[in-house]
Amino acid sequence: MLLAKTRLVAAWGLQQRGSLGAEDTILDFDTAYAQAVAEEIGSVAVQADVGDEAAVDATMQNASEHLSDIARIAVSYAGVGMAARIIGREGKPSSDVFEKTLRVNLFSTYNVMTHAARRMMKLDPFDDSERIMINNSASVAYEDGHLGQAAYAASKGAIASMCLPAARKMAQSGIQIDAIAPGLFQTPMMEGSPPEISDKITTNIPFPVHLGMPEEYALLAAQIVNNQFLNGTTIRLDGAVRLPPR
């Protein structure tokens, strides 16, 4: 199993190793952080810039050497959430933010998905022709983007939009492709916010009234892996929240 980025991988790994017996390899740009998570869950960390296609290809080849088989599950959680107005107060466009956001959020997801699928296609299928699955991470922002989130919403909207056509294409190879669109979660991105901002955000969640936890995300990811008929779908995981304009 290949895990691309963020602290959510820790919950995923801890959730799975006892129940599904998954071997996992973490791909992360931050080597020290990835190694710390790998030590926590008993896996292997490999440094990678998942926004660089050539690096992803080479890294996956390296990562596969640590697994007993080519990865049959690939999950992509890389993401940044830089906020910027389309036209700033001084009249300057935010094209640089838009480009970086799409590179980290969208291109990295596409890179991991395509290079994982290319390797999965070489595997012997199970009895029902299944080779297994790819799980990408969108966001509720693709439907409820805040003011200043045009780049982030566009990147996550593209991930959601490509889910169905990608699943239809890969169906002939027995590969499922789904996406999770998380709401407001306790991630490193959120941990950087002042407490008053987090408290205000939490009050917008109808039930349960708390930020989503990595374990809850990991649980849904595990359920997707276990449900063969769930394919080509983007699932909101958000406590029924609908984000306000700002």
- Which positions are annotated as active-site residues? 152
For residue 27, the surrounding DSSP H or E stretch is: strand 25-28
CB atoms within 10 A of CB 159: 25
Q: Label the pairing between strands 175-182 and 2-4.
A: unpaired
CB of 232 closer than 8 Å to CB of 178: yes
Q: Is the peptide bond before 208 cis (omega within 30 degrees of 0)?
A: yes
Q: How are strands ordered across the β-sheet holding 2-4?
A: 44-47, 25-28, 2-4, 73-76, 132-137, 175-182, 234-237
Rounded distance between C-alpha atoms, residue 180 and residue 177, angstroms: 11
- Tokens in use for 152? 């982030």
Nearest to 134 by CA among 72, 64, 59, 215: 72
CB atoms within 10 A of CB 54: 10
C-alpha dist (Å) from residue 208 to 8, 125, 184, 205, 238 = 19, 40, 12, 7, 9
